[in-house]
């Protein structure tokens, strides 16, 4: 049984998506063992309560250094036998003590097609830039800002009149599909990090390409 620890600072809809996938059997042999939050009013706490998942609020200011804070988080997770850590809207850069305790066992979801638009407001950056396709990325976490090996991505067409809000809403739907899928692949032992690449055992590409705007009109006229 894979025990999962989740780190969240806010709404926790990705946390919910993973819980739902475990509940309905899409992810087998896994359970969420602990929610850690750095915000006492994070809505993710309500979700943990509603699903009888233990949670702990750890205030960063109670620790002398950032490393000490992440050492504490690592201890809490290790004590509960956690084998996979999910960042789900956790608004801090993870430090070495946590990464060393869970080598290539910390995942994050980012609302853009990395390596484009890392950092905060990935959706706003994409909408402002004028790209025609953005999306979301699940990746293993390294010390950088959204730089770790990529596990899975979903491409989402961008409209010329998209705002940060409208694009975020459409990307979020796909976040909720690909994060549980990445967890499932991990739980089934199918992910292997080789340098910057994640090799997925048993993967076959269907080679479908997303084109935005679509080509249909051109061929019809």
Residue 139 falls in the annotated catalytic set: no
Nearer to ligand GRF, 168 or 198 (CB): 168
Nearer to ligand GRF, 9 or 70 (CB): 9
CB of 180 to ligand GRF, least distance (A): 12
Nearer to ligand GRF, 39 or 80 (CB): 39
Q: Using CB under 6 A, pick the residue from 3, 13, 56, 200 that binds ligand GRF.
A: 13
Counting contacts by CB under 6 A, is residue 109 touching ligand GRF? yes
End-to-end CA distance of the chain: 56
Counting contacts by CB under 6 A, is residue 134 touching ligand GRF? no
Which of these segments, 9-17, 20-28, 57-65, 78-86, binds ligand GRF (CB under 6 A)?
9-17
Counting contacts by CB under 6 A, is residue 111 touching ligand GRF? yes
- SS3 sequence, the chain? CEEEEEEECCCCHHHHHHHHHHHCCCCCCEEEEEEEECCCCCHHHHHHHHCCCCEEECCHHHCCCHHHHHHHHHHHHHHCCCCEEEECCCCCCCCHHHHHHCCCCEEEEECCCCCCCCCCCHHHHHHHHCCCEEEEEEEECCCCCCCCCEEEEEEEECCCCCCHHHHHHHHHHHHHHHHHHHHHHHHCCCEEEECCEEEECCCCCCCCCCCCCCCHHHHHC
Nearer to ligand GRF, 71 or 110 (CB): 110
Counting contacts by CB under 6 A, is residue 118 touching ligand GRF? no
Give the interface size with ligand GRF as a residue count (CB under 6 A). Answer: 13
Nearer to ligand GRF, 14 or 125 (CB): 14
Counting contacts by CB under 6 A, is residue 124 touching ligand GRF? no
Counting contacts by CB under 6 A, is residue 5 touching ligand GRF? no
Cis peptide before 115 (omega within 30 of 0): yes
The binding site for ligand GRF (CB under 6 A) comprises: 8, 10-14, 88-89, 109-111, 172, 175
Any idea which residues carry the catalytic annotation? 110
């Amino acid at each position: 049984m894979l025990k999962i620890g989740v780190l969240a600072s806010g709404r926790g809809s990705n946390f919910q998506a993973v819980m739902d996938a475990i509940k309905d059997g899409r992810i087998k042999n896994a359970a969420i063992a602990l929610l850690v939050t750095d915000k006492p009013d994070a809505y993710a706490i309500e979700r943990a309560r509603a699903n009888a998942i233990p949670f702990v609020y750890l205030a960063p200011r109670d620790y002398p250094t950032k490393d000490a804070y992440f050492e504490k988080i690592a201890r809490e997770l290790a004590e509960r036998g956690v084998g996979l850590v999910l960042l789900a809207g956790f608004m801090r850069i993870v430090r070495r003590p946590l990464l060393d305790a869970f080598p290539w066992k910390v995942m994050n979801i980012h609302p853009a097609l990395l390596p484009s638009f890392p950092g905060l407001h990935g959706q706003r950056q994409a909408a402002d830039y004028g790209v025609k396709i953005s999306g979301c990325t699940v990746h293993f976490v390294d010390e950088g800002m959204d730089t770790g090996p990529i596990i899975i991505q979903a491409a989402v067409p961008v409209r010329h009149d998209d705002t940060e809000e409208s694009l975020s809403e459409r990307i979020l739907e796909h976040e909720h599909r690909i994060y549980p899928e990445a967890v499932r692949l991990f739980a089934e032992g199918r992910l292997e990090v080789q340098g910057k690449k994640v090799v997925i055992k048993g993967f076959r590409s269907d080679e479908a390409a997303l084109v935005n705007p679509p080509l249909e009109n051109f061929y019809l006229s």
